[in-house]
Structure 1
Amino acid sequence: MKKALLFLSLALVLVLGACSSKNEDASKEPEKDGAAKDSGTITYESEDGPIEVPANPQRVVVLSSFAGHVMSLDVPIVGVDSWSKDNPRFESKLKDAEVVSDEDLEKIIELEPDLIVGLSPLNNLDRLKEIAPVVTFTYNKVDYLTQYVEIGKLLNKGEEAQEWVTDFKSRAQETGEEIKAKIGEGKTVSVIENFDKQLYVYGDSWGRGTEILFQEMKLPMPEKVKADALKDGYFALSSEVLPEYMGDYVILSRNSDGDNSFMETETYKNTPAVKEGHVFEAELSEFYFNDPLTLEYQLEFFKENFLK
């Protein structure tokens, strides 16, 4: 009888021990799940401090001019600003994306984003943060290529972005040497845009290919442009003074369907750049950004026009 009781006691101990072991394992399961969940996020050091964001975002809303940066890294966009949506070169990648702004809170909620990217400052920032993690960038706070690397880090693809930057700088600088050899050292270049019946000339860091021409290729700009547009990035012009800002070569960004009547004036037609066929016309909607997709297009545009 004693042996039977001893056997039962031992069996009970083993059973309780097994149950305890199972309970310990079970208690560890949430930790494993938690670890897996944590591995699905990264911490990005933003302008406003560290922000926890998805490690592999799949539903990004872009409320600014950074759509091309995100698309170039093959990250899906579900909502985008109207300027990016209207870019013909982005059409295929953004065909299913909804047009949204920082005022369209209900529409953004319906898109169920896992990350929101925008220009600083954003309207309704606190309310947007309730929908998804929000990361904003100040335009031109860093140079255009560093901006891409930062967005790469945000999307957990920093190394990929840096590799493209290194390669692009090399190709752009090499093309710049070819252009200078072709047109001659010291020939000046202007980047001019006709937008909504207003003419602008641009410095060296405001899209429209300015970063490539002036930062990478080191092509000179006219002194008048340097004096008036370099500091702020752009300068508004009247058609009467336009010739003063036109270099030996001109990149003219314009809307082909807009009012380009200034091009029919004698003032414009009699400039040396026009007479010598040194005005290269680009479609405004395809040309104003400085994301990698647009930069690649701009570089090819410069090759085709300067080196033809």
Structure 2
Amino acid sequence: MKKWLLPMFMMVVLVLAACGNSEKSEEKTGKEPSAETITYQSETGPIEVPVNPQRVVVLSSYVGDLMKLGVNMVGVDSWSANNSNFAEGIKNAEIVANTDIEKILELNPDLIIGLNNIENADKLAEIAPTVLFTYGKNDYLQQHIEIGKVVNKEAEATAWVKDFKVRAADLGTKIKAKIGEDATVTVVENYEKQFYLFGDNWGRGTEILYQEMGLKMPEKVTEVALEPGYFAISQEVLGEYTGDYIILSLSKEQDSAFLNADWYNEIEAVKNGQLFEVDSKEFYFNDAMTLDYQLDFFEEKFLK
């Protein structure tokens, strides 16, 4: 081959290779990256994001919000991947972390969403528009609307929030009519042979129970967990913090031998059948999909 043809030949090879990689990526999800953009006013300033994102990578917390809005995801975090309620919506997505730069690059995302405490945010922003949120800066329902703004579905997100608030308030009225206005509820999770008590904004259904329904937490829980969001206690003192009802978040990966302990089974809510066990992986988040699931769970358990 003549020397002057080599540069042209190499250029053709590179173009064909790039096209081949793009086609493989599109075949994987049947979606092409969006080209048109809108401006989202993020915490750090305006960001140009796709008007109709088709290949989103979610690095934390917001998978259920995007599922509710019908947005396609090509990459999700491991916590979300382990949530059985998300299985159908992310069945074609790869499990990724913020450190998987090469893997994320191969997914050819047109949008990346996550929390602002992750590493490699600058590298991710070079791959695709990257929107990061501070956990708790927005209240849990406004957060869904913010996700809606990012993916150009603010109207749909706002409509869901309005409907959810009506449904949650209505259910709260029915539950209080049955269990009493002054009945208390404790939300707790076992982890590493400790229990974690939760306030009113740390997932596990706390936002619904305390904020939307207006149910009460025991005074002692309020004193230690309301402001920080959670509080760790040793297992044996759980009875000092339990209310009339308990929402107990359990994980198969954690030791649950305490369920057979005498001190545990002497707790009033346990003896009265007013303890409701939940799968921590399904109850962990406070996204739109999980909130709907939690609401249905509370209706079934409190009003059965």
Compute the TM-score of the two structures, normalised by the length of structure 1: 0.86
Count matched residues. 271
Give the CA deviation at 1:149: 0.4
Please list, as runs of the form range in 1=range in 2, the aligned pairs for 1:289-304 lying within 5 A after superposition: 289-304=285-300
Match 1:264 to one of 244, 247, 260: 260
Match in the other structure for 1:279 = 275
Note if 1:132 corresponds to 2:128: yes
Q: Which runs of 4+ in 1 moved over 3 A?
A: none
Please list, as runs of the form range in 1=range in 2, the aligned pairs for 1:40-59 lying within 5 A after superposition: 40-59=36-55
State how far apart, in whole Å, the 2-side matches of 1:198 and 1:55 are. 46
Match 1:151 to one of 147, 153, 168: 147
Match 1:115 to one of 99, 111, 117: 111
Q: Contact (CA 8 Å) 2:69, 2:153: kept in 1 or not?
A: yes
Note if 1:160 corresponds to 2:156: yes
Note if 1:203 corresponds to 2:162: no
Match in the other structure for 1:91 = 87
Q: What does the per-residue CA deviation read over 1:172-208, in whole Å, with 9 as the maximum and x for residues that have no partner?
A: 0010000000011100001011134331110000000
Q: Residue 264 of structure 2 aligns to a residue in which SS?
A: helix
RMSD: 1.2
Give the CA deviation at 1:290: 0.6
Match in the other structure for 2:59 = 63
Which structure has the bigger radius of gyration? 1
State how far apart, in whole Å, the 1-side matches of 2:160 and 2:250 are. 29
State the AA in 2 paired with 1:185.
E
Identical-residue share of aligned pairs (%):
59
State how far apart, in whole Å, the 2-side matches of 1:163 and 1:219 are. 25
Q: Contact (CA 8 Å) 2:60, 2:76: kept in 1 or not?
A: yes
State how far apart, in whole Å, the 1-side matches of 2:150 and 2:248 are. 34
State the AA in 2 paired with 1:178.
K
State the AA in 2 paired with 1:97.
A
State how far apart, in whole Å, the 2-side matches of 1:49 and 1:149 are. 18
Q: Residue 143 of structure 2 aligns to a residue in which SS?
A: helix
State the AA in 2 paired with 1:89.
N
State how far apart, in whole Å, the 2-side matches of 1:218 and 1:204 are. 10
State how far apart, in whole Å, the 2-side matches of 1:237 and 1:259 are. 15
Match in the other structure for 2:15 = none
Match 1:169 to one of 153, 158, 165: 165
Q: Residue 141 of structure 1 aligns to a residue in which SS?
A: coil
Q: Residue 156 of structure 1 aligns to a residue in which SS?
A: coil
Match 1:181 to one of 177, 181, 197: 177
State how far apart, in whole Å, the 2-side matches of 1:276 and 1:64 are. 38
State how far apart, in whole Å, the 2-side matches of 1:39 and 1:95 are. 25
Match in the other structure for 2:74 = 78
State how far apart, in whole Å, the 1-side matches of 2:144 and 2:253 are. 31
Q: Contact (CA 8 Å) 2:148, 2:154: kept in 1 or not?
A: yes
Match in the other structure for 1:22 = none
Give the CA deviation at 1:256: 4.0
- Alpha-carbon spacing, 1:123–1:39, altered in 2? closer, same or farther (3 Å): closer
State how far apart, in whole Å, the 2-side matches of 1:302 and 1:71 are. 22
Q: What does the per-residue CA deviation read over 1:65-86, in whole Å, with 9 as the maximum and x for residues that have no partner?
A: 1111111111100000000001
State how far apart, in whole Å, the 1-side matches of 2:253 and 2:40 are. 42
Q: Residue 296 of structure 2 aligns to a residue in which SS?
A: helix
Give the CA deviation at 1:39: 8.2
Match 1:238 to one of 215, 218, 234: 234
Match 1:212 to one of 199, 208, 211: 208
Which stretches in structure 2 are left out of the alignment for 5+ residues? Answer: 1-33
Which stretches in structure 1 are left out of the alignment for 5+ residues? Answer: 1-37
State the AA in 1 paired with 2:262.
E
